[in-house]
Amino acid sequence: MLYSLMEPTVKNKILVLGRSEVQKTALVHSIIKGTTHISEAKEEDIGKIEWQLETRYFKTQLEFWIDNTEVSDTYKQQMEQWLNSTEDTNLVASIALDEEMSELQKQLSDVVDAIVFVFDPSQPQTFADIVPWARYAHTYEPNVLLCVALGDKAADEANADRWFDWCVSNGWEWVDLTDPDPQTEYTVARIREALCTNEWDSMEATTDRSNPPSEGPPGPQNDNVELQGPEREEWERFDEVAGNIDSRRVDNLHRMMFDEMSSDNMSVLISQLHEQRKQLAQMDPEQARIKAAELAMAVTKHF
């Protein structure tokens, strides 16, 4: 573990977790640089990467903490039970953590405000690695919880549906980077957007909003990258989406999904989300992006 000498500080850490074979470090570089391409080159997947994030409105110093998850037959069995019982909200409380993991999670809660769990859907058993971090999320409630499918597409579509349902039921945002649809809302840009819109403890207001951040060379220490080609077009689409989000529609979606839902029954919410996904598939791509963003905000508002 890379946290053994951790010192108390502000909550500005992003925990990136997954098996050693998934491209966690490459994903982090892609998030920082604002690119859609994830390098297939193998890099060391344990370490820390700083991110100096600066926008027109604020600046902040963040840090990615990248670490490998551990294999556990107990978690595999528990996850299989969980996937078959998404309405049982007590399962998270029954997750057993050893003393070392409990103490580690307690320390992390002082500095971590985002978790990005990454797994390869072609190896479905590795989804179980999220189990102890589901307990962490339930106990300490970090603001950003992302479950990222990265690698080869799941051979069984039913697995993808079950993972999506699990994420909805437990307050994680599902981001399927294996989705081949060019108009999909599941992109690296969406991960970056979720992190950029969090209210970090280390945030400082940008004093001069009339000028955008100065340009600089691309790299993990510099967020001021001039995007070109497809990457620039994608970020312009996200800017357009953000400008068209209607808070009233978000509130209406939230009321529709949650006002009549009992706290111990997630099946109604899951059914509604499946229905919303069908509607998105029938919409104009630009309108679908806006509706998907409003839907995500409505769900996040509840959890």
Q: What is the pLDDT of residue 250?
A: 74
Q: What is the pLDDT of residue 158?
A: 87
What is the full DSSP assignment across 31-71? HHHT-S----S----SEEEEEEEE-SSEEEEEEEEEEE---
CA distance 117 to 253: 27
Rounded to 5 degrees, φ, ψ at 288 are -65, -40
174: tokens are 């599902």
Q: What is the pLDDT of residue 230?
A: 54
40: tokens are 């297939």
**Do 23 and 40 touch, CB atoms closer than 8 A?**
yes
Q: What is the pLDDT of residue 45?
A: 66
pTM (2 d.p.): 0.68
**Do 130 and 147 touch, CB atoms closer than 8 A?**
yes
One-letter amino acid of 212 = P
pLDDT in 10s for each residue of the chain, 303 residues: 555 445 556 899 999 999 999 999 999 999 998 877 676 666 666 799 999 988 777 889 999 999 999 888 888 888 888 888 755 556 787 788 999 999 999 999 999 999 999 999 999 999 999 999 999 999 999 999 999 999 888 888 889 999 998 998 889 999 999 988 877 888 899 999 899 889 898 888 876 555 555 433 344 444 444 555 555 555 566 566 666 777 777 777 777 777 655 545 556 767 777 777 777 777 777 777 777 777 777 776 665
DSSP assignment, residue 246? Answer: -
Question: What is the dihedral angle through the alpha carbons of 61, 65, 66, 67, rounded to the nearest 10 degrees?
Answer: 180
Q: What is the pLDDT of residue 4?
A: 46
